[in-house]
Amino acid sequence: MSTTTKLFLQVTACGALFALNTYAVSADPTRYGFGEPASANDLQDFVSSLPDGRDLPAGSGTISRGKQVYDEKCASCHGQKLEGGIGDRLIGGRGTLVNNDPKKAPVKTVESYWPYATTLFDYIKRAMPFYMPGSLTNDEVYSVTGYILSEANILNGDEPITATSLSKVAMPNRNGFIPDHRPDHFKPADKHPRLR
């Protein structure tokens, strides 16, 4: 059997399966050979980070350099004291997450809520400053990440900020997250509803 015929048969078989199952798409075993290999060069500018520091780019920064970057490129939207403006408030809020009061809002910031410091590097690198995303060098991003963490009383000192050091930062709310336990089970409810 020629390759073309084989491919044709496999594809037809898959088509029949799709029609039967509207939930899952059945895995298509065919290799079509479309697209081209992506080279290391193609991929070098992409940034993503895992909490253990893998995937973060090379580079390093300092808190003092970070203050300069922040004042120049972030303060206009996030405030001189990181108190927020057009952009989110970045520090404060510890101790506000446990709260059962519908009138009082919890204060969720990098300091009080974010579980991983690597996320901060990743997000600033990809999306900030808001009007010029992707314009900071890796060293600048390490620096400003360090500065925000120091203003949040999470980091201090003159140690260089790097992929390894960020993966070791113990964020205050590191253990604040739980997995999804849903679905909940609700019974058709209540014989005595009223206006609230």
Residues 17-46 that bind other proteins (CB under 8 A): 18, 22-25, 27-38, 42-43, 46
Residue 65 contacts ligand HEC per CB under 6 A? no
Contacts of 50 (CB under 8 A, 6+ apart): 118
Residue 177 contacts other proteins per CB under 8 A? yes
Which does residue 144 touch among other proteins, ligand HEC, none (CB within 5 to 8 A, set by kind)? ligand HEC
Q: Tell me the CA end-to-end span of the chain in Å, nearest whole number.
A: 73
Contacts of 156 (CB under 8 A, 6+ apart): 63, 150
Helix (H, G, I), strand (E, B) or coil at 73: helix
CB-based contact 122:48 (threshold 8 Å) = yes
Binding mask 118-137 for ligand HEC (x = CB under 6 A): --x--xx---xxxx----x-
Residue 159 contacts ligand HEC per CB under 6 A? no
**Candidate ranges 68-76, 91-99, 144-152, 160-168; the one touching other proteins (CB under 8 A):** 91-99
Residue identified by tokens 């993966």 is 167
Identify the residue among 65, 67, 116, 141 touching other proteins (CB under 8 A).
116
CB-based contact 113:105 (threshold 8 Å) = no
From the list 175, 151, 145, 166, the residue with the least C-alpha distance to 91 is 151
Residue 109 contacts other proteins per CB under 8 A? yes
Binding mask 67-86 for ligand HEC (x = CB under 6 A): ------xx-xxx-------x
Which does residue 164 touch among ligand HEC, other proteins, none (CB within 5 to 8 A, set by kind)? none
- Distance CA(136)–CA(73), nearest Å, equals 10
